[in-house]
Structure 1
Amino acid sequence: MMVSINSDNPQARLIKQMVGILEEGGVIIYPTDTVYGIGCDITNKNAVERVAQIRGIDPQKAMFSFICQDISQVTEYSATINNDIFRVMKHNLPGPFTFILKSNNRTPKVLKNRKETIGVRIIDNNIVDALVRGLGRPILTASLKHDDTVMEYYTDPHEIDAAYGKRVDAIINGGTGGDQASTIIDCTGEQAVLQREGVGVLK
């Protein structure tokens, strides 16, 4: 099922429908401020494992990130964030960044890796913001990579529907997606360290 949602002013009825799918353990594909993503409710173990299966990743080795509505929600799942890291996050979020932080005991076990770290995003996209706020908790996110050797990510929602329409519960058409992933910043030490260059440029 593909649903078109206005990226400037998301229709409340359609957001509620998508949130309902997430609450029931569904998997959806949605636009972000970088590339299209696939995800689910982070508290639903079966849904997280289903995302891993669709992406062809071993859930025990997957390095999934999740989307929070604000920094306050990030702190619910991360270890203590020092003042320098907090300032970097505050100046650059919401935006096209993934921040790697040390996790705490509230992080669902299925999302924990051997390093006890998590990747968090606060996305500058009205549709995703409405989804996370409607759900009331973070949404798992994984980039929707293309099988094409030239094109790394899917950008056309209709092409996404043809490839994944029968494997997920809903696809949100929010317009043409980007073709470059988020910038990854490692914040597990005392200072923020660039791990992967992407769309975001730190302020």
Structure 2
Amino acid sequence: MAQYFEVHPDNPQPRLLRQAAQALQGGAVLAVPTDSSYALVCHLDDKAAVERLRRIRGVDERHHLTLLCRDLSELATFARVDNRQYRLLKAATPGPYTFILEASKEVPRRVSHPSRKTIGLRVPDHRALRELLALHAAPLLGTTLILPGDTEPLNDPHTIRERLEHAVAAVIDAGACPAEPTTVVDLTPMGTGGDPEVLRVGRGPLAPLGL
């Protein structure tokens, strides 16, 4: 049975978030709020947790998972970022964007794209999630909470609890999130002098990216 942590969206209770962080350290998969929709997250270095996350989401290893980072300096540890890419990232973070970048050696092979060696990264702008990331003291591996057979992400924590009661270890309820996934932008073409490629237009507007 999933634990249920009901936290204030603007002033989340540290005690509850510490319990959630401890669960992640123990190999749990959690449903958490973000600035786009709810997401499934787990510890980056826990192979069993990553496999469980993929099973819940119904995706294989070719589906890009996303590293949720505390800030740009942490993001740059897990991706190869040149000056041009960094300027674009700085203009749009934190926010509801996922950026595809070349993975650094810090990213386990099993979570990067098997043929392209790329990874999705983002710096979310959600108080409860940012504080959870700080308590975890490392990026979390995540994916938008769209269940197999669904076309839209889940954004209501009560519905998530009902549908994932026996699949996730805990749900962090910070109220309803926007029912819209992130905007996804592939920055890897910039590494060879090209332009960024918009893969999905979502909650994040394109104007801050100059696109």
Q: Are the counterparts in 1 of residues 40 and 145 from structure 2 also a CA contact under 8 Å? A: yes
Name 1:153's counterpart in structure 2.
Answer: 153
Aligned to 2:58: 56
Tell me the residue number matched to 2:133: 132
Deviation at 1:55, TM superposition (A): 1.2
1:92-103 superposed matches below 5 A: 92-103=92-103
Give CA-to-partner distance per residue, 1:11-41, whole Å, 9 cap, x none. 1101110000000111100100001000101
State how far apart, in whole Å, the 1-side matches of 2:43 and 2:37 are: 19
In the TM superposition, 1:1-203 aligns within 5 A as 1-58=3-60, 60-79=61-80, 81-113=81-113, 114-146=115-147, 152-190=152-190, 191-202=195-206, 203=208
- Ranges of 4+ aligned residues in structure 1 off by more than 2 Å: 146-149
C-alpha change, 1:147 and 1:112, in structure 2 (3 Å) is closer
* TM-score (norm: length of structure 1): 0.94
Q: Which runs of 5+ in 1 are unaligned?
A: none
Report the residue type matching 1:117 in the other structure.
T
Alpha-carbon contact 2:56-2:167 (below 8 Å) kept: yes
Q: Deviations over 1:50-79 (max 9, x none)?
A: 101111222x32311110000100111112
Cα distance in 2 for residues equivalent to 1:126 and 1:53:
28
Deviates more, 1:14-23 or 1:138-147: 138-147
SS at match of 1:22: helix
Identity in percent: 31
Question: Structure 1 residues 194 and 55, CA, compared in 2 at 3 Å: closer, same or farther?
Answer: same
The 1-side partners of 2:58 and 2:149 are apart by 16
For the residue of structure 2 that corresponds to 1:189, the secondary structure is helix
Answer yes or no: is the 8 Å Cα contact 2:58–2:147 preserved in 1.
no
RMSD: 1.4
Paired residue secondary structure (2:189): coil
Q: 1:201 Cα deviation (Å)? A: 1.2
Shift of residue 175, structure 1, vs aligned partner: 0.3
Partner SS, residue 40 of structure 1: strand
Deviation of the 1:146 alpha carbon = 4.8
| Paired residues of 1:2 and 1:165 also in contact (CA < 8 A) | no
Contact residue 57 and residue 147 of structure 2 kept, 8 A: no
AA at the equivalent of 1:34: S
Shift of 1:141: 1.1
8 Å CA contact 1:98–1:182 kept in 2: the answer is: yes
Q: TM-score, normalised by structure 2?
A: 0.90
